Structure 1
């Protein structure tokens, strides 16, 4: 069961009004106009709980993966749309049990043709996390259904 949902934030204008921090694309169907493009970062839970990695190192893995996916697919229209308004970028950090479950998530994304980057920490050669290209949550289907919000 998914326990995560996309977060919506607002910002205050100079006039003191609250405005959504994302601008829906006018070319999307009405049902998807309120849905923001989001990078989904899936990080192995066992890095901290079993392998005793410090929290800072784990956060860095997610940063590496999300930066890599943006650079790798920089010419994709979804990435261009996502990076066109820096203040409205959305990311969701999810956790998965271990390396095997991370690789299964990667396979699920491949089968659904959802671009992503699997970060492999070097020189240890350890797959630590993956990040999707900026996508609509509805485009994921059940590819990440076994993931929960990272805690």
Structure 2
């Protein structure tokens, strides 16, 4: 059964170098970072209409999240800046007390709006390349 909100998608971008470069974060720790980023962004932007729709009880069985990766903290910050410049609300999650920026999550975004506006989609398309 399709949800009327099928086009709402939340994007999570994780740093791939946290599993390489001698760091070797466990898979569970990386999954936790993605979870923390999603909870954080949905809490920070809780009055955003898309967050309200996406987290509504009737939509919970239909959540759609896309998880992507980037090679470094620098690339993650680049994508955060691109998203911000293109008015896509997102949150950078920083692991404490280590103060390590690990990932970002966007508010749920209507796919049709991203696809119809190449500039808003730039970060997502570049990450998929």
* 1:51-97 deviations in Å (ceiling 9; x for gaps): 21010000100000001011111111111111121111110000011
Could you tell me how far 1:142 is from its partner in structure 2? 1.1
| 1:148 correspondence with 2:121 | no
Say which structure, 1 or 2, has more relative contact order (CA 8 Å, 6+ apart). Answer: 2
Q: How many residues align?
A: 120
Computing the radius of gyration from Cα coordinates, the structure with the larger value is 1
* TM-score (norm. length: structure 2): 0.87
| 1:73 correspondence with 2:45 | yes
**Structure 2: runs of 5 or more not aligned:** 115-119
Contact 1:62–1:131 under 8 Å retained in 2 = yes
Taking the aligned partners of 1:61 and 1:147, their CA distance within structure 2 comes to 19
Could you tell me how far 1:144 is from its partner in structure 2? 2.2
* TM-score (norm. length: structure 1): 0.75
Q: By percentage of residues, which structure has more helix?
A: 2
Q: In the alignment, which residue of structure 1 is the partner of 2:93? A: 119
**Structure 1: runs of 5 or more not aligned:** 1-18, 25-34
Taking the aligned partners of 2:105 and 2:69, their CA distance within structure 1 comes to 12
* Secondary structure, aligned partner of 2:82: helix
Could you tell me how far 1:48 is from its partner in structure 2? 0.8
* Secondary structure, aligned partner of 1:144: helix
